[in-house]
Structure 1
Amino acid sequence: MSKDAATALVAWGNAWLTGHVGLDEAVDAVEKSAGPQILGGEPAEVTLRRGLGDLRVGGMAALRLALPAPGDPLGLSGPPGLNRAAIDAGAAVVAVLGERAIGLVPSEDRRGSSYVGVRWTTHDASAGAPDVPSLADADRQLTLAMRDATEALLTVDDLAGAPPEIADALDTLRDPDRGDHPLAPGYPPRAHRVAALAGRLSLVVDLARQMDDRGLSADQMRRRGEALRLLDGAVRRALVAACNSAFDPVP
């Protein structure tokens, strides 16, 4: 949920900030993707719509996606408190307000027996640009990682214990008729394509991690684990690069 919520917030938030959609449309799209959302903690919590409006009044000019993992603070530039919280959550959004920034870290907001939403907790954040790849570099890295992972996951020996969904997902990765559009209006076509491919590959990673290791040699397990680790890193970099490309110069 955290990754989906953060991706949607950055994509639709930047579409709003660049004037391609209104605030109401952006918030509706974010909440359709990940459920109702609030910003802040009790008693100062506000709706996502109000929170984004307040940030805009405060000078918010862009939203950046962070998808960190242990040992890889992708999309973050500190301070340590934000990095730790974001790594624990698996995602964060950094709101850039001129010379300062605010980190937003998602968590599940469960109330009663039926309400499940997202709560965004604010943290101090560094306004410095994080070390993330360009969209072009992320695209190339994703293509290479996809090739290596396909070879590792679809060898005859490795198919033992593999759920059929993995083969189906890999077969449809390059289907031009797939309707995966995780980004929002205003993004360049390459960003839409890269984000869609990364989203499908993320599903492959999740499914492959459920594979049964029985019947595999130690070398096969090592190769599969390494391929999945590299693919996961490439997927996260691709999503970050795509979501953060809303303000890239048009070639």
Structure 2
Amino acid sequence: MPTDTTSPLPVSGRLAWWATAWLRGHVGPDDLLDGVLDGDVTHVVLGPDPGLVSTLAALRAAGATGFGAAFPAEGDLVGLGGPRELNAAALDAGEAVVAVGAEAALVPARVGPTIEWTLLPGRRRPLPDVGEADRELRGVLLESAERLAALDVARWRPEVADRLMNLRHRPAVVAPPGIPARCVDLASRGLQALGIAELALEDDGGAITVHEAEQRRGALAPLARAGRRALVAACSPEVWPPG
């Protein structure tokens, strides 16, 4: 995922939230750009029309009713419904934005301080709903914490143990108007889970055997998956709770 921004939310999550807020009339185009750029110099769309807002406007004219994010990983194409070209590009980037109702998607690539978006065909996608993703994340987090404690996480990754002991300390996520509060909270907890998994998987630390390293990865893979699913649900207006 592209990084080097002041927001903990990946760029596809930012675009999904701010573009949906713009499409629904909660923010203007200037606020949309400020929210998406978040410290980047510029965002461009590869093709004849490089403007991000004009591209979003064209997708709105094509029938887009919202914009949702996808955060796939190998073996888990959560948030994607094809076609194959989109799945491959999004998997390579680790993320994408789907224009709901317009059969199109945007895939980001960071080039220095710039994000380049590629516009591709996109199909309707299966999604976890917010409640399902929330319950899964809570259950997997407890299970992963227990498995990591049994593997003595405090010895080989004390900073991971600290985070598990202080789950109330979450990334601060700022959302535009119109994003359900439950989704903002879920996005924050999804990012927290992904951060714990990524930190613990940086290397095998004090692993003595290949078997022990595999046990650790086995404890963390479900946590990363649940974190991605939570982030997808939180950033996909198709499954937001009403109201």
Q: Name the structure 1 match of 2:116.
A: 119
Residue identity opposite 1:131 in structure 2 = P
Q: Name the structure 2 match of 1:168.
A: 162
Unpaired runs of at least 5, structure 2: 3-8
The residue correspondences of 1:1-251 to structure 2 (distance < 5 A) are: 1-2=1-2, 4-32=10-38, 35-41=41-47, 44-97=48-101, 100-110=102-112, 116-126=113-123, 128=124, 130-155=125-150, 157-162=152-157, 164-175=158-169, 180-245=172-237, 248-250=240-242
Residue identity opposite 1:192 in structure 2 = V
RMSD of aligned C-alpha atoms? Answer: 2.3
Q: In percent, how many aligned pairs have the same letter?
A: 35
Write out the 4+ residue segments of structure 1 that deviate beyond 6 Å after TM superposition.
none
CA distance 1:205–1:215, shift in 2 (3 Å): closer
Residue identity opposite 2:193 in structure 1 = L
Q: Distance between the aligned counterparts of 1:131 and 1:47, measured in 2?
A: 29
Aligned residue for 2:156, secondary structure, equals coil
Q: Distance between the aligned counterparts of 1:96 and 1:54, measured in 2?
A: 13
Q: Distance between the aligned counterparts of 1:223 and 1:185, measured in 2?
A: 42
Deviations 1:10-64 (A, max 9, x none): 01111112222112102111101655211124xx241323322333334322112
CA distance 1:202–1:245, shift in 2 (3 Å): same
Q: Distance between the aligned counterparts of 1:62 and 1:207, measured in 2?
A: 33
Q: TM (normalized to structure 2)?
A: 0.87
Q: TM (normalized to structure 1)?
A: 0.84
Unpaired runs of at least 5, structure 1: 111-115
Q: Distance between the aligned counterparts of 2:77 and 2:39, measured in 1?
A: 25
